[in-house]
Amino acid sequence: MNNIFDNKVFDGLDKDFLEKVQRTINSMNGKSDVEIIGTFMALSNEASDRGIKMNSEQQKALILYLRDALPPEKRQKFDLFISMMD
């Protein structure tokens, strides 16, 4: 699993938030589709509540980190969910 802190695109973002994202990514194994989508939405809401603004490059990188944390059989559903949000 990649460490979110290794990606320079996240330099300057709130470190506490990034630590939470990393913990969340590490804990996604075994979660149901509904839990995964809920986790994605909760992270997005928390960023908004904390006034954390991510540019499109950061958003895409975060989505890829979340996607890569999923088992291969769940990635297609995640991709479909993300495409519906665009």
At 13, give phi and psi (nearest 5°): -80, 155
Distance between CA atoms of residues 72 and 82, nearest Å: 16
In the numeric block, which tokens belong to residue 54?
């991510």
Provide the pLDDT for residue 2. 67
Distance between CA atoms of residues 38 and 13, nearest Å: 22
Task: Write out pLDDT tens, residues 53-71.
Answer: 888 888 888 888 888 878 8
Task: Write out pLDDT tens, residues 17-57.
Answer: 989 888 887 887 788 877 877 887 888 888 899 999 888 88
Distance between CA atoms of residues 76 and 72, nearest Å: 8
Query: Does 85 score more than 90 pLDDT?
Result: no
Query: Does 10 score more than 80 pLDDT?
Result: yes
pTM of the model: 0.72
Inter-residue contact 74 to 36 (CB < 8 Å): yes
